[in-house]
Chains A and B, each alone.
Chain A
Amino acid sequence: MNLTLRVWRQAGPDAPGRFETYEAADISADSSFLEMLDLVNEELIGKGDEPIEFMHDCREGICGTCGMMINGQAHGPQGMTATCQLHMRSFNDGDEIVLEPWRASGFPIIKDLVVDRSAFDRIIEEGGYVTVDTGSAPDANLIQVSKEKADLAMDAAACIGCGACVAACPNGAAQLFTAAKIAHLNVLPQGQPERYERTTNMVEVMEEHFGSCTNMGECEAACPKGISIDFIAQMNRDYLKAKFINRRSA
């Protein structure tokens, strides 16, 4: 198939950006979306033009590196699919495809389609862990976890940290990412001792970097792992509870 790409090109963080138009010719419907971009880049290099920089690594939907706005949608048209797992059979011959970097002020542009997502790491550093030094753990089966809770924790822990939730949100909010990590740990017995401190600290750092949530639900729709916005409600409950608990103990 033959396609026309309109791609955001930006030489560096402070350089002005612009859309450039490229033709992608003779693309196989079986190739992946990123392989299509590889081919376009090969042609650009052949012509002496710098290739399009884009984020990618594992190309199997788990590392969370890839991501771009494809025709205005985070990760493109196919639900529950990271950009790297999108295939060209989702498009038609003659389509025009618009490619932009993640849209969010919390993710500044580095170059072309590459953004800086380090604010996510700052959120995790505030409490996205259980305090347990190596070697101090009891036998694993002394900590019993119901299957239901283990499954729920796993649903939340499946987050790949790609940032699609933020990019899809009209407010550039990171509630889904933050809530997923908080829920993963807060539903498990191991996460209880630090539950409320974790929630408060992570939410407050999140708010320093990202916009506010207005319950649009775009994050859930864009999430390649189908993480539920129910976790945001849980986070809000724990955040509110934390206010009372912290006040009582103060």
Chain B
Amino acid sequence: MTVLDARVPDGPIETLWDNHKFNMKLVNPPNKRKFEVIIVGTGLAGASAAATLGELGYKVKAFTYHDSARRAHSIAAQGGINAAKNYHSDGDSVYRLFYDTVKGGDYRSREANVYRLAQVSNNIIDQCVAQGVPFAREYGGLLDNRSFGGAQVSRTFYARGQTGQQLLLGAYQALSRQVKLGNVELHTNAEMLELVVADGKAVGIITRDLKSGEVSRHSGHAVVLGTGGYSNAFYLSTMAMSSNVTAAWRAHRKGAFFANPSYTQIHPTAIPSSDEFQSKLTLMSESLRNDGRIWVPNDPDETRAARDIPEDERDYYLERKYPTFGNLAPRDISSRAAKVVVDEGRGVGPLKNGVYLDFAEAIDRLGRDAIADKYGNLFDMYERITGENPYDMPMRIYPAPHYTMGGLWVDYHLQTTVPGLFAIGEANFSDHGANRLGASALMQGLADGYFVLPYTIGDYLAPQLGSQPVDTSAKEFEEAEAEVQARTEQFLNIGGTRSVDWFHRELGKILWDYCGMGRNQAGLEKALSEIPALKEEFYSDVRVLGTADGLNSSLEKAGRVADFFELAELMCKDALTREESCGGHFREEHQTDDGEALRDDENFAHITAWEWTGDSGAPNEHREQLTFDHVKLSQRSYK
């Protein structure tokens, strides 16, 4: 085990980033075009980084497996983006946003990174407004804010229920401008299948064109991964169908440590699944909790319709357990509370797998029109999916995998343990600790892409001035391409009996049961024996039809699911190793008398970063010790 150095500079936290920007090496403007940077992923982080590096004058090659850069899953974020503008004079500040984020993450994030995030949050809003992002406005023409996800100040900027869409379109449009100017070479339908490392440095990638099947080599002075999270390991999640871990996992196998893989966020308000063949879960914005009341019947054998159950036979369990925060308790806490009541047999709906989110009281108080004004589009979406009208009967909701705080380990420069390989946005582990607060994912993605990476990457590139990217005919490229070809052929040649989706569903069930909202030693050990067995079956019985020379979605999925198997083992291993509960990681053995997460700061105030050893069952553990000089560690209380 080694202790990782995050390269956090010395000095007072308030001026750390500004001083560091001055101290880092610069690449002067005419020299920037001598550097080629590969960016994989065009979501908020990837698109904003590609656009900004293009503007600065670097030669950028951007890659996305989507048919257009605009379709990355950032687009589906609904609620909003946080910033410490304090436009409403309600006591917000950079320090408060920093403090709330570290606390919300259950004290498992790096203070220096989070402080920087809070600082640049304000620049993001300025940038996005200048781009024409149509944020909600007040009648006077100034920006509107709302309080979101349990924050006690109004710091969330939003564009109806489509904030992620509008921010992504802003970044995509900035990227499109650079494409037109020739500063960014954009490859769509191109999936990264391997990282190329030479002399210990990241020097390129291997991609497959999903339309033609062509495999190609790309070299650069640095490689940046903005490839998102891995919630789809659970099969059923709020992710898009093609969201996957492959780019990050290939990098992990080439030496990038994977940090805190067990930190997964289960969002409290998704629509529960209706049958076994459901393909994904749809999120209902957390903003609904501002007016909806969450409850289940007292009696597990309750058969009456929701409206016929009298008040005194209902359990408004969040209001009961957390009188201060009530229905607005943070995500991890709300999700777990829902699991508790469903496990008690008090779930609602045909499969008894949900809880009620009830607007009757709000409709009485504010009127039906006011509720329609606020949530009309969400109510319509709910009705379209379930066929039930939430004005007349309560919604049914249940938690769903939604975001992953874990990811590639990065230092203060956002560089992984492989020099020249950077990870940004959800793909890295950095800022959210063990639980992410609402409206902070968009903030982090854009902070990394617009305002952090463009500085830190210069510090890595500057000393390389004059060097050419490694030639793509080099043996490292040849070997990496051969690995990709061999894997492709392997999948096509198995000729088994079951579809890739079948294996993915089975894997998802194991992870959800044993490494989901509640985890314990016996369950995790069981998962660690079942996953390798299922993986073995996958490699002998999966059926991938067709060929590699053209569009073949089964082949694409096979590669992604193969990597999910290895990741799933690491998630369970990490969850088993972390003998404490924190944020989204709840070890049932470690809880307070009233069932709350019980941290062990003495033994676990560290980041666990795993090194690939060639055997997915036996990774090497490394640590980065966390120190808290500004935030006072306490038991989170939302009562």
Which residues of A line the B interface, CB within 8 A?
Answer: 11-12, 28-32, 34-35, 38-39, 41-42, 45-46, 48-51, 53, 55-65, 78, 81, 85, 87, 89, 110-111, 114, 116-118, 120-121, 124-126, 128-141, 143-147, 150-151, 153-154, 157-158, 160-161, 184-185, 188, 190-191
Residues on B facing A (Cβ under 8 Å): 48, 51-52, 55, 66-71, 73, 75-76, 85, 87, 123, 125-132, 134-143, 159-160, 162, 165-166, 169, 172-174, 176-177, 179-180, 188, 211, 238, 240-242, 274-275, 277-280, 282-283, 381, 384-387, 450-451, 454, 497, 499, 501-502, 543, 545-546, 550-551, 553-554
A29 and B388 CA atoms in complex are apart in Å by 13
Give the chain A neighbours of B140 by CB distance below 8 A: 144
Q: Is the CB of B129 within 8 A of A137?
A: yes
- Known interface pairs A63-B71, A129-B173, A130-B130; A57-B274 also in contact (CB < 8 Å): no
List of B residues within 8 angstroms of A55 by Cβ: 67
> Is the Cβ of B275 less than 8 Å from the Cβ of A30?
yes
Which of A39, A58, A89 has the most chain B CB atoms inside 10 A of its CB? A58
Q: Tell whether, in the assembled complex, residue A125 and residue B279 are in contact, meaning their CB atoms are under 8 Å apart.
A: no
Determine the residue in chain A with the shortest Cβ distance to B136.
Answer: A150
Interfacial chain A residues near B129, Cβ < 8 Å: 137, 140, 143, 190
Cβ contact of B501, chosen from A38, A87, A118, cutoff 8 A: A38
With contact pairs A38-B501, A51-B554 given, residues A124 and B173 touching in the complex (Cβ less than 8 Å): yes
A62→B76 contact, CB < 8 A: yes
Contacts of B450 in A (CB 8 A): 134-135
Q: How far is the CB of A88 from chain B (nearest CB, A)?
A: 10
In the complex, what's the smallest C-beta–C-beta distance from A117 to chain B, in angstroms? 6
Q: Which of A30, A51, A62, A145 has the most CB of B within 10 A?
A: A62
B188 touches A147 (CB 8 A): no
Question: A199 to B279, alpha carbons, bound, how many Å?
Answer: 41
Complex contact B499–A45 (CB within 8 A):
yes
Flag if B177 contacts A131 (CB, 8 Å): yes
**Chain B residues within an 8 Å CB radius of A45:** 499, 543, 545, 554
Most chain A CB neighbours (cut-off 10 Å) among B180, B238, B454: B180
Given contacts A57-B242, A62-B165, A85-B385, contact A50 B134 (CB under 8 A): no
> Do A38 and B135 have beta carbons less than 8 Å apart?
no
**Chain A residues positioned under 8 Å from B174 (CB to CB):** 129, 132, 134
Compute how far the CA of A33 lies from the CA of B137 in the bound complex, rounded to whole angstroms: 37
Contact of A130 among B68, B132, B141, B550 (CB under 8 A): B132
Determine the chain B residues whose CB is within 8 A of the CB of A81 once the complex forms.
Answer: 384
Report whether A114 and B545 are in contact in the complex, using a CB–CB cutoff of 8 Å: no
> CB distance A125 to B162 under 8 Å?
no
Q: Which residue of A lies closest to B180 (CB)?
A: A125
Evaluate contact between A132 and B131: CB separation under 8 angstroms.
yes
- Distance of B363 from chain A, by nearest CB (Å): 23
Query: Which residues of chain B are within 8 angstroms of A53 by Cβ–Cβ distance?
Result: 551, 553
Q: Give Cα distance in the complex from A68 to B169, angstroms.
A: 23
Tell me whether A31 and B211 are in contact in the complex, defined as CB-CB below 8 angstroms, given that A63-B240, A87-B385, A120-B68 are known contacts.
Answer: no
Instruction: Find out whether the CB atom of A128 lies under 8 angstroms from the CB atom of B173.
Output: yes
Q: List 18 A-B contacts (CB under 8 A).
A: A29-B387, A32-B279, A42-B501, A50-B545, A58-B71, A62-B76, A110-B551, A121-B70, A125-B179, A129-B174, A130-B173, A132-B127, A134-B450, A134-B451, A140-B129, A145-B141, A157-B134, A158-B160
Once the chains bind, are A133 and B126 in contact (CB under 8 Å)? no
Question: Chain B nearest CB: distance from A121 CB in Å?
Answer: 5
- Check if A140 sits within 8 Å of B176, measured CB to CB: no
Q: Which residues of A contact B543 (CB under 8 A)?
A: 45
B390 to chain A, nearest CB (A): 16
Contact A190–B132 (Cβ < 8 Å): yes
A106 to chain B, nearest CB (A): 14
Q: By the criterion CB–CB under 8 Å, are A150 and B501 in contact? A: no
Complex contact A140–B143 (CB within 8 A): yes
Q: Are B387 and A185 in contact (CB under 8 A)?
A: no
- Known: A50-B545, A144-B141; 5 extra A-B contacts, CB below 8 A, are A134-B127, A134-B450, A141-B142, A146-B141, A188-B132
- In Å, the complex CA distance between A64 and B138 comes to 29
